[in-house]
Every structure is written in C-alpha cells, then in structure tokens.
Amino acid sequence: MIPKLVRLSRSAPKDRPLAWDTYWAGIRATGAAGEVLWDSGTDQEFLSYKEVLLRHLDPELPVVDIGCGHGSFSRALAGLFPEVIGVDVSAHAVNRAEDESAEFRNVRFQVRDMTAPGAEKDLPREANVFIRGVLHVLGAADQAALAENLRLLVGQRGSVFLAETNFQGNPVEYVSHLGATSRSIPAPLERAIRGLPMPGRFGPEERSRALPPTAWQLVEDGPVAIETNPATGISGQGRVPGYYAVLRPRT
C-alpha cells in the first residue's frame, strides 16, 4: 500500500492555500453521501462538544470558526452564540459555506488565512474561537503564527476550543483505519490524499508546543472521537481518535 500512497500524495500542491482551494473547487457534494473526508453528515460529533462549549465559552461573545470549510460547524455554532464568523483559506470553501448557510441570519463567512500576520484584524475583538481539524495539518511555524493571532483575537474574555485528530499509528495504519486496503481506497479518502497536505496528529504534547503553558492557560482537555465520512459502511471505521482542549491566554 505504501507505494500507492506515495504516488497519490505526490500530486498534492506544495502551496498550502492553493492545495485547499483546489481541493474545495473539486467538491461536488457534502454530507454523508458527499466527497469530504471529515464530513460525517451528522451532528453527533458537535453534540459531544456542546456541553464543553456551554461550560467554558462566554455565550455573549461572537465565535470565529477557523478552517470552517463548507460551514457545517458554523451552522451548529449559530444555535449557541449571537454571531458566527466562519473563516477559511479557500475561497471555494467559503462560497460553498455561504450557499449552504443562506437561511442562517447570524452566520457569515470570510476568506482569510489565520496564519498570516495581522489576520485577526477586522474580526471582532474579544471573541471565542472554535477550531476543528486545522492544527494537525499545519507545520510548527504556521501553528505558532496561528497561536499568536488567536491570542490577539480572544482578548480578555474569549476562549479557544480546539478539536484535532490524534491517531497514534503511522500513515498506513491511519488510512487503513479509514477503510483503505491494498485493493481499494474509499473515494473521499483518496481525494484527500491526492490533494491535501499530509496530516499529523495533535494531542497534549503537540498542544503544549503550539500553545505553551507559559502563554496559555489550559482550562479543560480530554479525548474525543472525530467523525469522518462513513465511506466504507463499516461501523466505527469512520471514527478517529481525537483530542479536545479549551484554553485562554495568560495575561
């Protein structure tokens, strides 16, 4: 399987924003019957976060959904917060999010690379932040840049909620867990391998490096299940071990 994975991954653009925009440009359908690997088409994963969000994030503040993709979590957050701003590096993702969220009056979307210097400007001051599945696909330098923008964005009252893939095996074990075999690879998984940066994992150790305790207070953390597209139809195969944390910047 390794030679096939190497061959597929060679086609992914090296430029991160280009890779994500090219990926979203080719997506024709979302949800459980769609082509997005990390979209289960249900609210099961969000419901596992809901109590944590209500417990720790100020409900009077807006929330910025970083790496919003087609906006599924932005729409879920709209029921908990007065305003949701979904941001994504891909214009094609934002266009799809706007189309799928037309009925939501307190949700809006912007094209924005949150690892860029000054990316927090023109966003609400004193905001909550929701990040799902972004940090584990960023290198160390981009993680550090994102963390600095988060610090400026949340201010004195906001909090950061993050949820990331934390699969402990190697890449072959990971794709096998998601249904790949030596004979076939589920279409949503193959599309991601062909077009996107190779993911890593993000757990407590990675969080301590990207958001160090000297700068960030850890409020709560723990394991969580990341729901992916049920491409294989095998029960449990679409659930990936993950990690969540709630943090606030130290003053």
pLDDT tens-place string over residues 52-94: 999 999 999 999 999 999 999 999 999 999 999 999 999 999 9
**Residue 6: pLDDT band by 50, 70, 90 thresholds?**
low
Asked, for residue 37, whether it belongs to a domain, the answer is no
**Phi and psi angles of residue 106, each rounded to the nearest 5 degrees, phi first:** -110, 25
Does residue 15 lie within any of the structural domains? no
Domain that holds residue 85: 43-168+199-249
Which pTM was predicted?
A: 0.94
Phi, psi of 240 (to 5 degrees): -110, 135
Q: Which positions ≥6 away from 225 have C-beta within 8 Å?
A: 45, 48, 239, 240, 241, 242
Residue 28 belongs to some domain of the structure:
no
CATH of the domain at 96: 3.40.50.150
